[in-house]
């Protein structure tokens, strides 16, 4: 797999100072966690999951979750489970390239049934997504994922979703997050990323944000996200990759507030029509939310529509300026610490405070590449225009 592999080679050469590198399902956990990018959710009842995954992979999707939980009705669980197994087997037997595939399960027992049903094709899965994760409830799931790995000989990852009442409510949140960290520490090598369930978090307050607002404008939920990053997203050996919450909209209606995209970058790059399409499909709100995700230490995002993928990936590319600064911080010149002006002569780089940021930036550069010096987000998004 390779981000932006769906673009022609000459187009990638034009856009990238350093092109994205290839990665596989067998790469290190740290690489795969960043490489997830936009993780596309599909309900387990879809009749052509295998074909959908192949088609979306060809369009740039590198990770997907087949959902057996909230995305399907309770009565449809057995049929969805059987459909999932049949579709993943079909994908494996076809030999066609697909994304990293995960399954969002309801119970630990489902993990065993799915793995057994896949049989010799059990390695076609990369892992399992655990909903409403808490220390008590989640530990059984993590133990079962570990057992499935041992039985099949395949490495399975777990991705917990934080969306339970204990995490939402202020009076229990700190204890719940510390307990979750204890549970995850016991299976650190199997935890790929921590996901945030903003829809469930919002539902506790009877809230549904509009397309004019980001999740960071919804303060009760934004406070939860801040605490999740505080406890679980630290840039040390205790932290995990934390991924961004879902954006629910894929078509625009009448707008109450002004669009969230400046006109000038689109005018400069002769992409006025692209901006108009993004606004019409409510993707300007998604773009702003991705920017705020990055500012708050969040990597990647859950998506429910293919049109969201290009925006997530375009904003995941390391800019030339970021790359120059990160290389400066990690270079010989600043190996003993200190402070110096950046290569762009517009800020100060500090060796010690900026080191963790620089290391994370270089890891992102490995999987998403580095844009050319004169290439902007508008160019990257326009090359893979989702409309």
Containing domain of residue 274, as a range? 24-316
Which H, E and C letters describe 237-274, residue by residue? CCCCCEEEEEECCCCCCCCCCCCCCCCHHHHHCCCHHH
| Confidence category of residue 256, pLDDT binned at 50, 70, 90 | low
Q: Is residue 379 part of a domain?
A: no
Q: Is residue 237 a known part of a binding site?
A: no
- What confidence score (pLDDT) does residue 386 get? 45
Average pLDDT of span 53-68: 96
Read off the pLDDT of residues 294-312 as tens digits, 9 standing for 90 and up. 999 999 999 999 999 999 9
Q: Is residue 55 part of a domain?
A: yes
- 106 or 209: which carries more pLDDT confidence? 106
Read off the pLDDT of residues 168-214 as tens digits, 9 standing for 90 and up. 999 999 999 999 999 999 999 999 999 999 999 999 999 998 888 89
Confidence check: pLDDT of 254 > 80: no
Count, in order, helices (H) and strands (E) of the chain: 17, 12
The two structure tokens encoding residue 242: 């934390």
Q: Is residue 306 part of a domain?
A: yes
Average pLDDT of span 358-386: 90
Looking at residue 151, which CATH number applies to its domain? 3.20.20.60
| pTM of the predicted protein model | 0.93
Q: Give how far Cα 265 sits from Cα of 11, 262, 285, 291, 369, Å.
A: 20, 7, 16, 15, 21
Q: Is residue 231 part of a domain?
A: yes
Q: Is residue 223 part of a domain?
A: yes
Show the CA angle centred on residue 5, arms to residues 365 and 156, nearest 5°: 70
Q: Is residue 362 part of a domain?
A: no
Read off the pLDDT of residues 333-353 as tens digits, 9 standing for 90 and up. 888 889 988 888 899 999 999
Q: Quote the mean pLDDT of the chain.
A: 93
Confidence check: pLDDT of 319 > 70: yes
Q: Is residue 43 part of a domain?
A: yes
- 272 or 122: which carries more pLDDT confidence? 122
- What confidence score (pLDDT) does residue 266 get? 84
Provide the number of structural domains found in the chain: 1
Range in 40-49, 187-196, 270-279, 298-307 with the lowest mean pLDDT? 270-279
Place of tokens 């076609």: 124
Strand partners, 110: none
């Amino acid at each position: 797999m390779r981000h932006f592999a769906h673009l022609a080679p000459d187009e990638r050469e034009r856009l990238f100072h350093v092109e994205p590198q290839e990665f596989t399902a067998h790469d290190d956990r740290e690489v795969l966690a960043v490489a997830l990018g936009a993780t596309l959710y599909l309900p387990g009842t879809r009749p052509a999951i295998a074909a959908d995954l192949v088609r979306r992979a060809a369009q740039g999707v590198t990770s997907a979750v087949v959902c057996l939980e909230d995305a399907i009705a309770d009565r449809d669980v057995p049929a969805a489970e059987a459909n999932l197994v049949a579709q993943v087997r079909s994908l494996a037997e076809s030999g066609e390239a697909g994304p990293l595939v995960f399954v969002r399960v309801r119970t630990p027992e489902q993990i065993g049934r799915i793995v057994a049903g896949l049989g010799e094709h059990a390695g076609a899965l990369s892992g399992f997504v655990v909903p409403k994760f808490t220390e008590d409830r989640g530990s059984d799931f993590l133990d079962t994922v570990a057992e499935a790995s041992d039985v099949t000989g395949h490495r399975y990852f777990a991705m917990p979703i934080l969306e339970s009442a204990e995490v939402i409510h202020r009076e229990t949140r700190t204890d719940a997050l510390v307990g979750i960290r204890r549970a995850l520490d016991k299976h650190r090598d199997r935890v790929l990323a921590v996901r945030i369930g903003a829809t469930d978090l919002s539902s506790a307050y009877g809230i549904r944000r509009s397309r004019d607002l980001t999740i960071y404008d919804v303060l009760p939920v934004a406070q939860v996200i801040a605490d999740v990053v505080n406890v679980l997203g630290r840039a040390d050996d205790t932290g995990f990759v934390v991924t961004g919450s879902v954006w629910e909209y894929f078509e625009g209606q009448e707008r109450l507030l002004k669009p969230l995209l400046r006109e000038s970058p689109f005018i400069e790059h002769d992409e006025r029509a692209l901006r108009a399409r993004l606004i019409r499909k409510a993707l300007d709100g998604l773009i702003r939310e991705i920017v705020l995700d990055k500012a708050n230490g969040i990597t990647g995002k859950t998506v429910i529509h293919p049109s969201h993928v290009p925006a997530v990936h375009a904003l995941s590319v390391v800019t030339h300026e970021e790359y120059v600064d990160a290389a400066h911080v990690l270079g010989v010149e600043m190996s003993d610490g200190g402070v110096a002006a950046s290569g762009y002569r517009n800020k100060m780089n500090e060796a010690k405070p900026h080191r963790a940021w620089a290391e994370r930036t270089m890891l992102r550069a490995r999987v998403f590449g580095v844009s050319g010096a004169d290439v902007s987000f508008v160019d990257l998004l326009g090359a893979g225009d989702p409309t």
